[in-house]
Amino acid sequence: MSWENELYSVYETQYGKETDDGIALMPVSHSTANAQIEVTLDAQGEFVTARGLEKEEGKNTLILVTENSAARANGINPMPFADKLVYIAGDYGEFAEGKKSDNSEYFLAYSNGLQAWHESSYTHPAVDALYKYISRKRMMKDLAACGVLKLNGETGKLESGVKIAGIAQEDSFVRFRINGLNEPQTWKSKTLSDAFIEWNASQMTDTQLCYATGKVLPVASKHPSKIRNAGDMAKLISANDDSGFTYRGRFTNSGEALTLSYDFSQKMHNALKWLIQRQGMSFDTLTMVVWASTMQPLPDIQSAGISDDDIFEEDAPIINTQKIYCDLLRKSIFSSCGEMPINTKVMLMCVDAATTGRLSVSLYTELEGSKFMENLIKWHEDTAAVRWYSKQKKRAINSFSVHNIINCAFGSEMTKGLECKKEILKDNILRLIPCITQGRPLPKDIVNALYRKASNPLAYDKSYDHRNVVETACGMIRKQNIDRKDGITAMAYDPTITDRSYLYGCLLAVADAAERDSYENEGDRVTNARRYWSAFSGRPYRTWRIIEERLRPYLDKLGKKSVRYEKMMNELMDKMGIEQFSDNTALSPAYLLGYHHYTNKIYTKKVEE
C-alpha cells in the first residue's frame, strides 16, 4: 500500500479509541490553533468574562475549519467558530491601527458564515449564543474592560508592543467557553463538533472520482497544512500554482493530475498529524515517524541499543562479552514493544519542508514487522563496541545513537560536546535510517570521516570527546567489515590477528598507556603517542621510532612497572616480523581497532590486578 492508504487505514482503525497519552485523533473538518484569549459567554449570548491564556494552556486548541479556512494564507477565509480578533470582533476598527484597522470585510465574512450555520437545521446552542454575542459588535470593548487588551491612555487604541502568550494582542486567537451548556468548553464539545461536520458536509456539492478510493465523492481542492505543528504552513499536496508550470503542458487543470475526496484527504492528514504529535522525531526541518499496523509501541530506532539506565541498573550483569550484550539487547528491544503478531507491518516516513509552503516525503518504507525487528537487532549487534562511561567510571559494550555517529563524523567541539550543523545532521539521518531499518551498507564517506577524525586527537581539547570519536569509529569500521564480509570484526583484542595495521594500533595503545601511567597528578596531559598520532597513521615505522625514543624517560620513571609495558611492545613487534614492522606505508582503519582493543585490554587487566 502507499503511504496515503496506510495513513487512511490508521485513521479508520484508531479514530474514537482512547489512548494512554490522551492525544486523540482529530475529527474531519477540524484543526488546531494556539489560542491566546478565552471568552466566556452564557447560553443567551451575554458576555460573562474573559482572560488571557498561558502559552501552554492555549496550545493546540481544537478548532472547526472549512476547506478554505484550513488552507488560508492570504485573502479572507474565516474559521466557522473560533478565530482571530480581526475576524470576530465587530468593533475591531475602533481600537486597532494599521493595515487591518478596517476589518469590515473580515467581520462580514465571519458573521455571514456563522449566521448561515445558525439559521440552518444543523445549528447548535453554542452557535446560537455566539451569533447573538458577535452581532452586538462589542468584543474589543469587553476585552479591554476585563483588562485582557491593553489600551493607550492617550489615543484609546491598542497599545503597541503588548503580547499575550507571545503573540501581539491585536493578532490574538480567541476560543469560547459557554456556560449553561452540557459541554461549556466549546473546543472539547463533541455535539458542537458533530453538528459542524454535518453542516460542512451539506455545503460540499462538487463531486468527482477520488483517485484513492475509486468512488465518486465530494472532492478537496485544498488540502490541510499544520502537519508537523500548529504553526506549520507547509502542505504535502498542493496544486494552486495554475499561473506557473506546475501542470501546464501535461494537464489542463489540477484535477487531472490528482483528485482526492475531502473525507480521504482529511483523514489521511489527520492521521499523520496524530502520529507525529504522539511519536514524531524532529531534526531541524525533517520530521520522522515510525508506526506499526497494529499500533503497538516500537523501539526507538535512533538511539543506542541499550539505554544507560538499563546498562547500570542495580543487579544488572556487567556487559563485557558479546553474548551478554546480545542477550540484553534483545531483552531491551522486545520489552519495549512486546510480541509482534504475524503479518504486522512497520511503516517509516520522513517529511521535510523544502520551502515554508511545501512539504516533501523524503523517505517512506514499509517492512514486515519481523524483518524490521531483525534488521534493528542486527544493526545494534554489528555496530557495538566497548565504550567507556565516565560518569559511572565503567566500561560496557553498547552501540551508538544516530546523533552520536553523525556528530562524531561531522561535528566540532562545543560546550555540550560534539555537535554538527542541523542541515548536516538532517541529511545524514536520511542516509543512516535505511542502514538501520533495511540493512543497507554504511555509507563509505561516514566511515572515512570517522577514521580521519579519530586519527587527529590534537583537534580536540577534551580527551573524552576524542575517546567518543575513536569508539564510534571502531563500531562503524566493524560494521563495515561485517557488511563486506572481510576484515576484523572482533570487539576485543584477539591475539591471533597478525594484521600489520592492527598490531601497530596495539603498539600505539601501549605507548599511550605507559606514558600516562607515569604521570603524577598532571591532569589531562597530552602524551607523545597522541601528539604524533596523526603522523603515525600515515608513516607508522618512521613515527614509531620517534614515539619510542620520547617514551624512554617515562619508562625509566616507572621503574619495575615498565617491564610490563616493554614486554607488551616486544610481543607485538615479534608478531609483525621485520618486513611488516619496517613497512612505512599508511595504516588502514584496522589500526584504530587495534588501539581501542588493546587499550581496553590494558586497563581491564589493571583493574583486575
The pLDDT of residue 482 is above 90: yes
- 357: amino acid identity, one letter: G
- Provide mean pLDDT across the span 85-94: 95
pLDDT confidence tier of residue 243, bands split at 50, 70 and 90: low
Confidence of residue 520 (pLDDT cuts 50, 70, 90): confident
Residue 607, pLDDT above cutoff 60: no
- Please name the residue that has the C-alpha cell 555509507: 443
Contact of 330 with 284, CB cutoff 8 Å: no
Distance of alpha carbon 399 from alpha carbon 308, whole angstroms = 11
Q: b vs e for 319-328, b when ≥16 Cβ sit within 10 Å of the residue's Cβ?
A: bbeeeebbeb
Q: Which amino acid is at 495?
A: P
pLDDT tops 60 at residue 606: no
pLDDT value at 609 more than 50: no
Radius of gyration of the chain (CA): 32
d(CA 395, CA 286): 34
Given a cut of 80, whether residue 521 has pLDDT beyond it is: no
- Total number of residues shown for the chain: 609
Checking if the pLDDT of 101 tops 60, the result is yes
Spatial distance between the Cα atoms of 189 and 33, rounded to a whole number of angstroms: 16
Place of cell 491564556: 53
Q: Is the pLDDT of residue 432 over 80?
A: yes
* pLDDT, mean over the chain: 92
* Average confidence (pLDDT) over 262-291: 94
Q: What is the pLDDT of residue 608?
A: 45
Mean pLDDT of 498-517: 95
pLDDT over 80 (residue 202): yes
Type and span of the H or E element at 444: helix 444-454
Which pLDDT does position 392 carry in this prediction?
87
Highest mean pLDDT among 19-23, 281-285, 398-402: 398-402
Residue 184: half-sphere exposure toward Cβ, Cα within 13 Å:
13
Give the span between the Cα atoms of 360 and 366, in whole angstroms. 18
SS3 per residue for 38-97: EEEECCCCCEEEEEECCHHHHCCEEEECCHHHHCCCCCCCCCCCCEEHHHHCCCHHHHCC
pLDDT: which is higher, 288 or 17 = 288
221 or 511, higher pLDDT: 511
pLDDT at 316 over 80: no
Question: What is the structure's pLDDT at 248?
Answer: 62
- What percentage of the chain's residues is helix, strand, coil (to nearest 5)? 45, 15, 40
The alpha carbon of 491 is separated from its chain's Cα centroid by a whole number of angstroms, namely 30
Cell 617491564 sits on residue = 563
- The C-alpha atoms of residue 81 and residue 471 are separated, in whole angstroms, by 57
CA atoms lying within 13 Å on the CB side of residue 497: 22
Q: Phi then psi for 106, rounded to 5 degrees?
A: -65, -45
At 148-162, the pLDDT tens digits run 999 998 899 999 999
pLDDT of residue 337: 81
Q: Average pLDDT, stretch 603-607?
A: 66
Q: What is the mean pLDDT of residues 86-96?
A: 94
Across the strands, what pairs with 218? 207
* Percent of the chain whose predicted confidence (pLDDT) is above 90: 78
- Across 112-126, 238-252, 346-360, which has the greatest mean pLDDT? 112-126
- Of the pLDDT bands very low, low, confident and very high (cuts 50, 70, 90), residue 523 is low
* pLDDT for the residue numbered 245: 59
Sheet holding 216-220, edge to edge: 207-209, 216-220, 260-261
| CA distance from start to end of the chain | 60
Q: How confident is the model at residue 210 (pLDDT cuts 50, 70, 90)?
A: very high
Give the three-state DSSP class for 346.
strand
pTM: 0.87
What is the rounded average pLDDT of the residues 17-22? 82
What's the rounded mean pLDDT across residues 491-507?
Answer: 95
Mean pLDDT of 455-484: 95
Residue 275: predicted pLDDT: 95
Nearest-10 crossing angle of helices 444-454, 422-437: 120
Tell me what pLDDT residue 390 has.
86
Confidence of residue 14 (pLDDT cuts 50, 70, 90): very high
Assign 123 a pLDDT band (cuts: 50, 70, 90): very high
What pLDDT, on the 0 to 100 scale, is given for residue 240?
Answer: 65
Strands 173-178 and 37-41: parallel
- The position carrying cell 489521511 is 268
Q: What does the alpha-carbon distance between residue 169 and residue 50 come to, in Å, rounded to a whole number? A: 14
- In the chain, what percentage of residues exceed pLDDT 70? 97
Q: Report the distance separating Cα 176 and Cα 46, nearest Å.
A: 12
Per-residue confidence (pLDDT) for residue 1, from 0 to 100: 59
Return the pLDDT at 252: 73
